[in-house]
């Protein structure tokens, strides 16, 4: 069971039930950071989906695709906006010259997402001026990638992680953390420190925990 950091256990979101989006858009490190920087994205994780190979791993993923899963609050960021961001930020083709590892892929969770995909796909084909060849289908399974691939860019700053050790005592605590998702986006250039601090002040959570997170972000040395 992936653990949630204690400092975030009091964090509440406007929607009573979060939704999940599953997609592939090339190497999964960059997209996790990109989406982790978006307001309304609560959790990010990378793994493998879209294929039939049992128990895929990074070195042996078979016919699966490198995939990002995000849990999001639809009252803050609608699924339609996630789809637009998805298609605007990678080349949505099905060129399989390297196999299925890096293809454009969408897996919908239910009929509402399926309908939205069809509608936004038509909109984006007009905007992009070309047909979209994303592999689209119903969600079947998602296998979490190895720990070293989660929040990859944040982990490239071991000094920063050491400063976060009291709230992330193990690497597993990074996987479901909203703070870690934002910091992973920050180090890749998708957020600023000021925008992070502004967002954290809006979070509905324990005042003590909120103050600790703000202090960490403000004083962190990279």
**Active site residues per annotation:** 27
Is residue 134 within 8 Å of 83, Cβ to Cβ?
A: no
Select from 134, 127, 173 the least CA-distant residue to 150: 173
Q: Residue 204, exposed/middle/buried by CB under 10 A (0-12, 13-18, 19+)?
A: exposed
Q: Report d(CA 101, CA 144) in Å as an integer.
A: 15
User: How crowded is the C-beta side of 222, counted as CA atoms within 13 Å?
Assistant: 12
Query: Where are any strands of DSSP class E within the chain?
Result: 19-25, 41-49, 65-72, 97-100, 104-108, 135-138, 143-144
Q: Report d(CA 205, CA 194) in Å as an integer.
A: 19
Q: Report d(CA 106, CA 114) in Å as an integer.
A: 10
Is residue 61 within 8 Å of 51, Cβ to Cβ?
A: yes
């Amino acid at each position: 069971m992936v653990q949630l950091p204690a400092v975030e256990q009091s964090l509440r979101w406007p929607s009573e039930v979060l939704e999940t989006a599953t997609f592939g858009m090339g190497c999964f490190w960059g997209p996790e950071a990109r989406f982790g920087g978006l307001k309304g994205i609560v959790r990010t994780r990378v793994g493998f989906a879209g294929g039939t190979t049992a128990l895929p791993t990074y070195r042996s993923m078979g016919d699966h695709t490198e995939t990002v899963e995000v849990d999001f609050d639809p009252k803050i960021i609608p699924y339609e906006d996630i789809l637009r961001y998805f298609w605007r930020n990678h080349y949505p083709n099905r060129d399989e010259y390297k196999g299925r590892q890096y293809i454009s892929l969408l897996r919908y969770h239910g009929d509402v997402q399926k309908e939205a995909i069809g509608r936004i796909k038509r909109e984006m084909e007009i905007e992009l001026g070309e047909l979209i060849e994303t592999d689209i289908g119903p969600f079947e399974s998602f296998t979490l990638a190895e720990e070293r691939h989660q929040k990859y860019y944040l982990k490239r700053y071991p000094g920063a992680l050491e400063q976060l050790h009291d709230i992330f005592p193990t690497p597993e605590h990074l996987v479901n953390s909203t703070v870690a998702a934002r910091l992973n986006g920050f180090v890749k250039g998708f957020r600023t420190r000021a925008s992070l601090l502004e967002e954290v002040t809006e979070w509905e959570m324990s005042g003590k925990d909120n103050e600790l997170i703000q202090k960490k972000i403000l004083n962190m040395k990279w």
